[in-house]
Chains A and B, each alone.
Chain A
Amino acid sequence: MSILRRITNLFHRSKLDQEIEAELRSHIEMRAADNIAAGMPPQEARRQAVLRFGSRPAMKERVIAADVQMFLDSLWQDLCYGLRLLRKSPSFTAIAVLTLALGIGATTTMFSVVESVLWRPMPFPQSQLLVTVESANRKQPENYGAVSVADYLDWRAQNRVFDGLAAFDWSDGRTLTGDGGAERVYVMPVSANFFETLRVSPSIGRTFRADEEEMGKNRVALLSHSLWESWFHADGGVVGNTISLDGQPYTVVGVCPASLRLEFDPDAAVYVPLTLDAASSTRAERALRVFGRLKEGMDVRRARTAITLIAQRLAQEHPKEDGDWGVRIQSLRDAFTHFETATTFSYFFLGAVSLILLIACATVANLQLSRGLGRQREFAVREALGASRRVLTRQLLTESFLVALAAGLAGTLFAFWGTSGFSAFLPPGTLPRQQYISFDGMALFFSLGLSLVTALLFGLAPAIFSSRVDLNSCLKEANRTGAGGTDQKRLRNAFVIGQTAIAFILLFGAGLFVNSFLRLERISLGFRPHNILTMQIHADGPQYSSPDKVILFYETMLRQVRALPGIRAAEAASQVPLTSGMDVPFAVAGQPRPAPGEAPGAVVRVVTTAYFQLMSIPVLAGRNFTTQDTATAPHVVIVNQNFTRHFLAGENPIGKELQILPGSYDKAVVLGPVQIVGVVGNVKEVGLNEVGFNDIYFPFAQSPDSSMYLAVSTNIPGVVDPIRKEVASLDKNLPLLNVMFMDQRVADAFRGDRFNVLLIGSFAIMAVLLASIGIFGVASYSVGRRTQEFGIRMALGADRKSILGLTLRSAAALSLTGLLVGFVAALALGRILGNRLYIVPREHEGLLYGVSLFDPLTLAAALVLLTSIALVASYIPARRATKVDPMVALRHE
């Protein structure tokens, strides 16, 4: 029976149809001719002949159904036979299934992560129509993103391509107070059409009205479902209630549905109307995020053309602010997930893990081949009894599919666990929307699809080669060493070479990550993190409405805290190292004034006078802040080394004047002219592996920030309770947030890199393990086959050492070839990757730090390590060769 023909029948129905049709026609004609001969009128004769068939289409269907039925029957037979055989060799089955399951599981886990993070649509109806619209500077390709209020309002009023163009600002922490006490919540300002554009309707109440975007009418709020449950105990009559944010009352107008998942700003708990007053800010102040829903049938290209036209008109009307600015449109999902760090991380590790799958396939293919050799007599006998080669090939492929299916199921299970394990261990902030990583239908589909692909990968070659049996040589008992054939040997060797090469690449890659990590550990932080406890306080609310009140509050608090036992010093800073920060735009006096919106930015740090001593940040030039730098004294700042290198290269920074420009920075830093009085060392602001930031430090007395970190020098963790009591004595509504020793922040900063090392390290271990199984397998097989030869050699006087050398040499040749291939491939990969694994200007972290992709030391280490592993893997079977008793070996046949 020809399974192939039957499958082709299924796919070539039209040809089959024609053939049946022709056969039926001839049948009907013959019957009609007989009818006529029997005396019927021709027309009646034909009608009778046709009638006897009943419905012809139905009959054709039955012919085809017969095909399908038989296909299933024979498939079932093969499956049963395959299962029986696999059950007969449980160790082969177990090893093959486990190896593949690991490969499939690991690959599917990474796929599932990447799919969750990068590819999954955002959870809104018809989300493929949602696109972000961003202002993009035509002269500075890195300068794009936020949109000014006036530009947004013009786009919204003039476009005809969007079914709603919405705007929002990132959520920001505010203090929610009420009967339930005080709580820090994230509040997100959104345009009135925000929810409608996302196609989200509130579960209670309403969303915002258009007039609530106006000043004076904007004190209304929508609650997230979880805040409604925790704060209002899921009270259905919540609409009309008042909540207080930073002491200002807001009327609740609605509650968001529990299903709302705002993946690009998941922390938002309260939504308030965005105040859209074109007069309150200039077109150069770009702070809004804008996205729209394309009208049905509209595509991104046409929308881009339409909005670009509007932007060009605005650029002509407002050449000063909008002259250099165009628009950038991309899908909402891509805009908020396809960050370069995320895509690099995702694709790098997805690529690495698929290498493991390849090794696993090669391992199982090799196992199949050696098993095929063992089964050659079985095949020879069966072929002699009349089974065709196609039947044997099919049998082997069916077995492979069975193995792959079992591995696919086990791998799916591994991936299911792996995905949740991965997201549990993934350090926070590594990937966008990482809290939503989950194993879903796509991953399941991928996993099962992958097992089919692997079945072909590892099953096809053995199936073809093993069924190619040389009947004569095989059935002649004496000629056993001839079985196998050079083709097969070459194939097996190729597999081993490939495995070794891939293992080398992964081992080298892991070496690079370890190397990079060791360098990171030696990195200079720029401050001493030991025994410094930090915590954040947000002094928001009506009682802190004036700068004086903020200063009074913090100074009183610092004084009281310093008086506590066990505290050596206490200072405050708007942000401490490794907590990131905000940019403020500035201009250097005496240098050409930048166009609005194109001014360089520097990270803002507002600090109290002895902050640098507390953190051990060295003052390299000029002076520190002093108590004389009061609100009424001349405005001064201190910059860091990076700042002077970038903006004041070759000049004496001390005494230079800067202009602090208005920007999206909502903190209370002084604007206008400030004088540089000192230079301090650089510190790590976001992560260890970052592009150095330019910092400007402002004295707290001149730029009192309501939100500050308290930093105390102490070695007593329990001191936080008395501090909390002191703060509560001043204001019982101020929670202490982010309480953490600086040592802990440093340790956290290492988590991402440690995770990467562990990830690629485990990949490398799997790869090396599988490759050594491969080398071991080939070596033991060749030793087994040459037993007789060794016997003769030893009988002729060869000693054990030369036999050992003989076997080791052939194994070593294989693994060395593999290493060479891997070496070349690793260098080629390094060239392809270029600088992708390192920090890029807009981002502040990379996968690797301070180590070259061609690092000779790491290359050498990987070579030595893998060579020794390969030698051990081939030594064990080689030693067995030397134990051959010549007499036994010769009598063997």
Chain B
Amino acid sequence: MARNDLQGSLDLLVLKTLSQMGELHGYGIVLHIQRASDELLSVEEGSLYPALHRIEQSGWIRSEWKLTDTNRKAKYYRLTAAGQKELRKAEESFEQVVKGVRAVLRYAQG
């Protein structure tokens, strides 16, 4: 279920990140989004974990405790098949939203 709101876009970012990077822990997701967006987007860390939990409960991602490169225990997330499908849907719906918003903005300026 794609939602045309900010929560929906956080889900999209998380799913997309995982599809690009394979396996990542929460902190890694934060860093990636920051880096990939040229520091334009910074994920609020307090919102990330509820979102991860919800997405996991929906069956779109799976998690596993593993050791990091620096030998720390961390929870790694990866995309599931259902998550792939969901990502495609979310991307589409995001495109729609962006188009829609842009159209409105243009209308307001013109």
A40-66: CB near B (< 8 Å → 1, else 0) gives: 000000000000111100110011011
Pick the most buried of B25, B47, B74: most chain A CB atoms within 10 A of its CB: B74
Tally of contacts, chain A with chain B, CB under 8 A: 66
B49 touches A26 (CB 8 A): no
- Residues of B within 8 Å of A53, CB to CB, are 45-46
Distance in angstroms between the alpha carbons of A888 and B17 in the assembled complex: 63
A26 touches B70 (CB 8 A): no
Contact A24 to B74, CB < 8 A, known contacts A30-B68, A70-B58: no
A30 touches B74 (CB 8 A): yes
A29 touches B72 (CB 8 A): yes
B19-31: CB near A (< 8 Å → 1, else 0) gives: 0000001110000
Contact A27 to B57, CB < 8 A, known contacts A54-B46, A62-B50: no
Cross-chain contact of B54 among A22, A27, A66 (Cβ < 8 A): A66
Give A59 Cβ to nearest chain B Cβ, in Å.
Answer: 5
Q: Confirm or deny: A33 has a beta carbon within 8 angstroms of a beta carbon on chain B.
A: yes
Q: Confirm or deny: A1 has a beta carbon within 8 angstroms of a beta carbon on chain B.
A: yes
Q: Confirm or deny: A67 has a beta carbon within 8 angstroms of a beta carbon on chain B.
A: yes
B50 touches A65 (CB 8 A): yes
B70 touches A33 (CB 8 A): yes
B53 touches A63 (CB 8 A): yes
Give A484 Cβ to nearest chain B Cβ, in Å.
Answer: 32
Q: Confirm or deny: B106 has a beta carbon within 8 angstroms of a beta carbon on chain A.
A: no
- Residues of B within 8 Å of A2, CB to CB, are 57, 59
A22 touches B49 (CB 8 A): no
Closest to B73 in A: A26
Q: Confirm or deny: A31 has a beta carbon within 8 angstroms of a beta carbon on chain B.
A: yes
Q: Confirm or deny: A214 has a beta carbon within 8 angstroms of a beta carbon on chain B.
A: no
Distance in angstroms between the alpha carbons of A33 and B72 in the assembled complex: 11
Cross-chain contact of A24 among B49, B54, B70 (Cβ < 8 A): B49
Give B75 Cβ to nearest chain A Cβ, in Å.
Answer: 5
A1-43: CB near B (< 8 Å → 1, else 0) gives: 1100110000000000000101110110111010000000000
- Residues of B within 8 Å of A6, CB to CB, are 57
Which residues, 52 to 108 on A, are CB-close (under 8 Å) to B? Answer: 52-55, 58-59, 62-63, 65-67, 69-70
Closest to A19 in B: B75
B74 touches A59 (CB 8 A): no
Cross-chain contact of A66 among B27, B45, B50 (Cβ < 8 A): B50
Give A383 Cβ to nearest chain B Cβ, in Å.
Answer: 17
B35-71: CB near A (< 8 Å → 1, else 0) gives: 0000000000111011101100111000000001010
B46 touches A66 (CB 8 A): no
A653-675: CB near B (< 8 Å → 1, else 0) gives: 00000000000000000000000
Distance in angstroms between the alpha carbons of A70 and B47 in the assembled complex: 16
Q: Which 7 A-B pairs have the closest CB atoms?
A: A66-B54, A62-B50, A26-B74, A54-B46, A30-B27, A27-B27, A63-B53
Interface residues of A (CB under 8 A from B): 1-2, 5-6, 20, 22-24, 26-27, 29-31, 33, 52-55, 58-59, 62-63, 65-67, 69-70
Would you mind naming 25 contact pairs between A and B with Cβ atoms under 8 Å apart? Answer: A1-B57, A1-B59, A2-B57, A6-B57, A23-B74, A26-B25, A26-B72, A26-B74, A27-B26, A27-B27, A27-B74, A29-B72, A30-B74, A52-B45, A59-B46, A59-B49, A62-B46, A63-B49, A63-B50, A63-B53, A65-B50, A66-B54, A67-B53, A69-B54, A70-B54
With A23-B74, A27-B45, A30-B68 known, 5 other A-B pairs at CB within 8 A are A23-B49, A24-B49, A52-B46, A66-B54, A67-B53
